[in-house]
Structures are given as C-alpha cells and as structure tokens.
Amino acid sequence: MAINRRQFLIGAGGLAAAATTMGLGACAPGAPSGSQGGGEQGGATTLALAWWGNPTRNKNTEAEIQAFQQANPNITLAGQPGDFASYWDKLATQTAGGQAPDIIQMDMAYISEYGNRGALLDLEKNGADTSKFIEGTVESGKINGQLVGVNAGINSAVIVANPKIFEKAKMDVPDDKTWTWDQLSEVAAEVASKAGVPFGVVYLFGGDPMFGAYLRQNGKELFTEKDVGFEPADAQAWFDLMMKFQKAGGIGTPQQISEEGSPGGGKPIDQSAIVLGKAALQYQNSNQLEALNAASGESLKLLRAPSLAGKATERKAWYKASMLWSASAKTENPEAAVAWINWFANTKEAVDIDKAERGIPPNAELEEYIRPKLSPAQQEVAKFIADIKPELANTPIAPPPGGGKLAEIMFRYETEVLFGRATTAEAAEKFVGEVKSNLTV
C-alpha cells in the first residue's frame, strides 16, 4: 500500500516537475501565451502597464492612464507600479512565466537583455511614431536594428555644483565649457580643503557615464555591439586618474568614498553627499536636479562633464534615455500597446501631466510647448539639454546582454585599488576580463 502510494507520489511529483519545465519552455518567444491579462472581449482590451517610480510619478502615471483611457475608450490599462530595485525581479519572473506586462517601462541597463532575447515588441513595425523626435534620441531604443524602446525622456550625465560650498571656499563655480579633467581635479581638491568638506567631487569615478565620456574622448566606447569597447590600458588610465584625484585630495579618503558608494549602488539620492552639504560637486543625471534641490533646499547648478581638450564642443556628449517605453513581444494587442506609447510620446495631454518628470520630452514640438510650464529646476534642465546640442556626438549603443553590471564591477575594482588591495594595472586587467566574461552574445 505504501509502495503504491509512493509510486503515485513520485509519479505526481514528476508530473508537476514536467509541467513546470514545460512552463519554462512556454516563455520562448512566439509560443502561445496562456491566460494573458490582455484578453480581448467585444472590442474592449485590458492591458497591463508596469512602471517604477516614487509617489509623484505614480500619481502622474495614474492620471495619464485616466486621460489615455478617455481618449481611447476601448482600451483599459491596469497599472502595476513598483520600485526600481524589485521591479526587475518581478519583471524577470513574470516574463519567465509568460505573463509579462503588455507595456513595460524600460531602462537602458536592461533593454538589450530583453530586446536581444525576443521578449520585446518591434515598435516601429507596429506603428510607433518617433518622427518628431529630436535627433539622437531614438537610437537608444534600437537593438539589432529593431526599435524595442521609445525614449520617454532625455537625460544627460552632468556634474552638479553647490554654489554655497564654493562661496564658503571663496571660489567661483568653475567654467564648465573649458575645464579639463586635470582642472577638475585641482578645483575639487581646492574647494574641499578651503570649504572644509570631505568631498570636492563625489561619484565621479563610480558611475559608467563619466567613464563612458572619458573613453569617448579617447576614441573608445564602453561597448561595441557584441563586445567591450575598451582595453585594459584604458581602464588603467581611468583608475590612475582616480588615484591622482584621490592623492590631490579632491575625492575624499578611501573609506569616505566607499561609504558614499557608487551612484545607484550607494546612498539614496536624498542622502547623497551634495544634499547633506558634504560635497561641492557630484556626478548625477540631469533629470535628478529637481529631487536634489528639494532634498538639499539649495538651488544647485548643472555643469558639463570635463573634456580632455578643454573644449566642451569636443567632449563627445550624448543624449541619454532616462527611461524608455517597451511592449511585450507576447502582448495580444500590439496596436493598443503602441497606442499608449504614441500617446505618451506625442500628445500635449500626456506632457501636460508628466511635464519633465521622466526627463525632457524627446518630441521637439512638445519640448518647446511644455518648457514654459515647467518648474524652475526643470526649466534649467531643459535649457541645459538644449544648450549642449552642439557638443553631441553619436549616441552610444545599449550595453549588450550581460553588460548591464559594468558600473558595479568597475566600482568594486576601484574599491580594491583605493584600499591598496590591487594595483591599477591588476584591477584594470581583471575588470575588463570580468565584464567580458559576463557578456552573453
């Protein structure tokens, strides 16, 4: 009796496992989806819409959903808000289960993971309209020539300055159109010692955009389509530059640097050094200015990244997508998903609600339309984005699959170097090796 039961149990366990395994296969692109949330009933469609954000963005997005539904009465959107860190765990699990949301707010670090594996819809083919987009803002969403993400807001890597700290040091905020990396090092060291703050500049070396800028000025890139775009020697030069900054006294002690962490992998933005008055300069994305101002109670200034040549026009700047809109390749109603993306990108109703919360609108007409309605900080960002147009070079491609962790790996090896546990040469060698070995192309 027990044996029969056992056989039954083992058999049933095997069945459950088989069902699971079949489920794993079912998520392969092109496989028919099960009971997807977006079922069509009598012409009316319900689509799931996932995004990450804080309560401000959540309120905005809910209002946008309302407005969109009014304009498109036969489409219902079911919102799935989340926070950035856990958003990706959830999305990966849902996608693996064949239940990805129809419309997905996407990030540059993940777009090729999903896009390269056939999980995202080709938007161009399904009628996405980016005809009014400012030059250089569409490319970020292209993977293997397919448009799988539509830029939802323009961003740029900047250095934010706290004028009060410069005042305290009796110094002028430096001229960002002519400064070089070496001058930045001098300024940082001087302002830190004169104003008595731990950091002249913080986050400069921990994030990949600044490394990317440095590489581009040296004729390299972070990534090529299928590989790492730089050599260990380039990484070593970057690490050496960091040590030069550190010895000059511009970026704090190793412990202080490690305590701040890297941008994104460190403290929340409202506890960052510049907010707490501990830093004169800080690397950030331009669309974070408003949050930084609110948290610090100051009005911070946006500065360009430095250049090798001392000429801003040669600094090889680019427009970054702060985030993108993608759609699941398995959505049952591609037209409806693209309808939302087009509505968000190209209508005044959308931009009236969103303003520049997700970044400066990439649609040139809407950018012009909305600029006077923006908050002072957002206006400053919009002006900055417009001002740097002559300094733009090509738009860098999204990191290939497995490349999204570059910044994290880089900061780890930088920490090794700072604490004297590795030379810059050793660290550079290992850093490049690890990034390469993570790529799955």
Partner 1 sequence: MSAISELSTVHRVKAKTPEEKRLRAKEAARDNTAGYLFLLPWLIGLVLIVAGPLIASLYLSFTNYNLLQAPQWIGLENYARMLDDPRLLQSLKVTFIYVIVGVPLQLIVALAIAMLLNEGMKGLAFYRSVFYLPSMLGASVAIVLIWRQMFESDGLVNQVLRLFGIPATTSWIADPKYALWTIVLLHIWTFGSPMVIFLAGLRQIPGMYYEAASVDGASHWAQFRKITLPLLSPIIFFNLVLQIINAFQAFTQAFVISNGTGGPADSTLFYTLYLYERGFGQFQMGYAAAMAWLLVVIIAAFTAINFFFSKYWVFYGD
Partner 2 sequence: MTDVQTTLTEEPTLTGPAPQEAIHHRPTWADRTRSVLKHILLIVASLVMIYPLLWMLASSLRPTELIFRTPGLWVNDLYVQNYTEGWYALSYPFGQYIINSFIVVVGAIAGNLFACTLAAYAFARLKFRLRGLWFSIMLLTIMLPFHVVIVPQYIIFNQLGFVNTFVPLILPKFLATDAFFVFLMVQFIRGIPRELDEAARIDGCGHWKIFSRVMLPLMGPAIATTAIFTFIWTWSDFFSPLIYLTEPYAYTVPVALKSFLSATEGSNWGPMFAMSVVTLIPLFLVFLFGQRFLVRGIATTGGK
Instruction: Please list the residues that pair with 154 across neighbouring strands.
Output: 321, 360
x/- site string to partner 2, residues 251 to 290, per CB under 8 A? -------------x---xxxx---xx--------x--x-x
Binding window for partner 2 (CB under 8 A); candidates: 33-41, 198-206, 240-248, 385-393: 33-41
Q: Which of 261, 214, 207, 254 is nearest to 237 (CA)?
A: 214
Q: How far is the CB of 45 from partner 1 (least distance, A)?
A: 24
Q: Which of 303, 34, 64, 326 is nearest to 184 (CA)?
A: 303
Q: What is the DSSP letter of 130?
A: -
In the list 66, 93, 224, 440, the residue contacting partner 2 (rule: CB under 8 A) is: 93
Per rule CB under 8 A, is residue 83 in the interface with partner 2? Answer: yes
Q: Residue 82 touches which of partner 1, partner 2, none (CB < 5 to 8 A by kind)? A: partner 2
Per rule CB under 8 A, is residue 291 in the interface with partner 2? Answer: yes
Q: Report helix, strand and coil shares of the chain as percent, to nearest 5.
A: 45, 15, 35
Q: How far is the CB of 196 from partner 1 (least distance, A)?
A: 14
Return the number of the residue (37 or 118) whose C-beta is nearest partner 1.
118
Per rule CB under 8 A, is residue 54 in the interface with partner 2? Answer: yes
Integer Cα distance of 84 and 52 in angstroms: 5
Q: What is the DSSP letter of 105?
A: E
Per rule CB under 8 A, is residue 48 in the interface with partner 2? Answer: yes
Integer Cα distance of 65 and 62 in angstroms: 5
Q: Residue 12 touches which of partner 2, partner 1, none (CB < 5 to 8 A by kind)? A: partner 1
Q: How far is the CB of 421 from partner 2 (least distance, A)?
A: 27
Return the number of the residue (116 or 130) whose C-beta is nearest partner 1.
116
Q: Applying CB under 8 A, which residues contact partner 1?
A: 2, 5, 9, 12-14, 16-17, 19-21, 24-25, 27-29, 85, 88-89, 92-93, 95-96, 113-114, 117-119, 255-256, 258-259, 261, 265-266, 401-402, 404-405, 408, 411-412, 415-416, 419, 421, 438, 440
Return the number of the residue (184 or 192) whose C-beta is nearest partner 1.
192
Q: What are phi and psi of 200, to 5 degrees?
A: -75, -55
Name residue, tokens 């500065």: 303
Residue 162 contacts by C-beta under 8 Å, 6 or more apart in sequence? 274, 277, 279, 280, 281, 296, 298, 300, 301
Query: What's the maximum distance between 2 C-alpha atoms anywhere in the chain?
Result: 89
Binding window for partner 2 (CB under 8 A); candidates: 80-88, 303-311, 386-394, 408-416: 80-88
Residue 31 contacts by C-beta under 8 Å, 6 or more apart in sequence? 25, 98, 330
Q: Which of 210, 243, 257 is nearest to 406 (CA)?
A: 210
Q: How far is the CB of 378 from partner 2 (least distance, A)?
A: 13
The interface with partner 2 within residues 309-368 (CB under 8 A) comprises none
